[in-house]
Amino acid sequence: MVMVCNMFGQCSSSPDPSQKAVTLVTLKRSVGREGANLRDDVVQIQDALNRVGSLNGGPLIPLTVDGFVGPKTIKAISDFQKAQFPEKFPDGRIDPGKRTIGRLNELLAGAPSFNDEVVGSNSANFAPLGNEMGFTNVSFPSSTTDAQMALADVHARDAETKITAAVKRMNQAITAMGKKVRTPKEDQLVREINWHFKANADADPAAHMAKVSFILATMLTAIREHNLGTRSIFTKGDTPPSDPNAIAWAYLGGWNSMKQEERKIIITPKFVTQLSMVIVHELAHFCGGSRSTGKDIVHRASPEPFPTGEKREDGSTNYRDMPPFHARTNVYSYLIYCYPDRPEFKVPA
């Protein structure tokens, strides 16, 4: 079975290649925290953040485009800045002519988010730059380019770093779980696995977390082998008819499949993203069981909106109330556990 998804199991809002032009944002004054917040400017920003999609740091739940700046709009601006410029502290404001508005317009225009040395000669596969902020005629390549495969490899290296850290943190948490007396740091580690994987709700927490740990370790093995060049797990492929906006997809349990065509994560012609999270997301699907095993890792529940989250298409309840088996087979649990700096990782008090 094919699982088509982006970071949170939703279609990415990549530009529609059938469109001939893109509406870019032109601000008169600043928008956001302590900004001038002219209503027309705010409407543009709210609409633009919704259009770039959660894969690129846009809001998981679309903003109401009403022209008024409130906590949700400021948070959406800050989250976008965190995703696009992780080395900078977000100020929650977008100013005319500055870096945030520039990056927002690049994404709206469909600009590839890899740097020149990665794009190389393959930049010709994309429409040429039009006005000062992006493309005037947006189109994706008809087939996945070498540049997009190179971008996937860049994200694969970051994904390995994130999963390696997650494996270490999980091992520490499992060890701490068996202690009668724990340090504050150990308490926090245990709270994290209780929240994301419902360890404390299982009849045998140690056995439950051993199964979770095995999946995470398999994800690390898969991406490490890819990065070392011993087994390539990426291949070029088309967007599936079920989701023409998919940037990547994978077969459930493909890592252990006996069918050669299922042993790959497919990178589509729409693979344009700044975030490695999509690779981790697909790895979780790829390294779990197949549908026939009943242990496939699917879309059970999303951690957003905080603090309870929401049920997804394969789930029976929200993120807070998932039973242990669902948490163990929930793609979002593995994804978010690998990114503790993301706001979605936060553990409720």
- 83, 274 Cβ separation under 8 angstroms: yes
Report angle CA 287, 288, 292 to the nearest 5 degrees.
Answer: 130
Q: Give the pLDDT confidence score for residue 13 in this predicted structure.
A: 34
Q: What percent of the chain has pLDDT over 90?
A: 57
Distance CA(33)–CA(12), nearest Å, equals 27
pLDDT tens by residue, 275-285: 888 999 999 99
Q: Is 45 exposed, middle or buried (0-12, 13-18, 19+ CB in 10 A)?
A: buried
Distance CA(227)–CA(301), nearest Å, equals 30
The 8-class DSSP code of residue 138 comes to -
Helix (H) or strand (E) holding 325: helix 324-328
> 148-152, 240-244, 270-274, 345-349 — which is least confidently predicted?
240-244
Q: Is the dihedral of CA 316, 322, 324, 327 positive or negative?
A: positive
Distance CA(141)–CA(216), nearest Å, equals 34
Q: Is the dihedral of CA 157, 126, 247, 102 positive or negative?
A: positive
Distance CA(264)–CA(221), nearest Å, equals 14
Closest CA to 140 of 53, 25, 18, 49: 18
Q: Give the pLDDT confidence score for residue 19 in this predicted structure.
A: 39
CATH number given to 146-345:
3.40.390
With tokens 């994301």, the residue in question is 196
pLDDT tens by residue, 41-94: 999 999 999 888 776 788 878 888 999 999 999 999 998 988 888 767 889 999
> 115-119, 150-154, 162-166, 237-241 — which is least confidently predicted?
115-119
* Residue 229 tokens, joined: 């060049």
pLDDT tens by residue, 169-213: 999 999 999 999 999 999 999 999 999 999 999 999 999 999 999
> Which amino acid is located at 124 in the chain?
A
> Which amino acid is located at 225 in the chain?
E
Residue 233 confidence class, pLDDT cut points 50, 70, 90:
very high
Q: Where are the domains of the chain?
A: 13-125, 146-345
Q: Give the pLDDT confidence score for residue 110 in this predicted structure.
A: 60
State residue 302 phi and psi, 5-degree precision. Answer: -100, 145
State residue 180 phi and psi, 5-degree precision. Answer: -80, -35
Q: Give the pLDDT confidence score for residue 22 in this predicted structure.
A: 53
User: Mean pLDDT throughout 125-142?
Assistant: 37
Q: Give the pLDDT confidence score for residue 102 in this predicted structure.
A: 83
Closest CA to 141 of 208, 237, 282: 237
> Per the omega criterion (within 30 degrees of 0), is the bond before 15 cis?
no
Runs of H (alpha helix) within 178-254: 184-197, 205-228
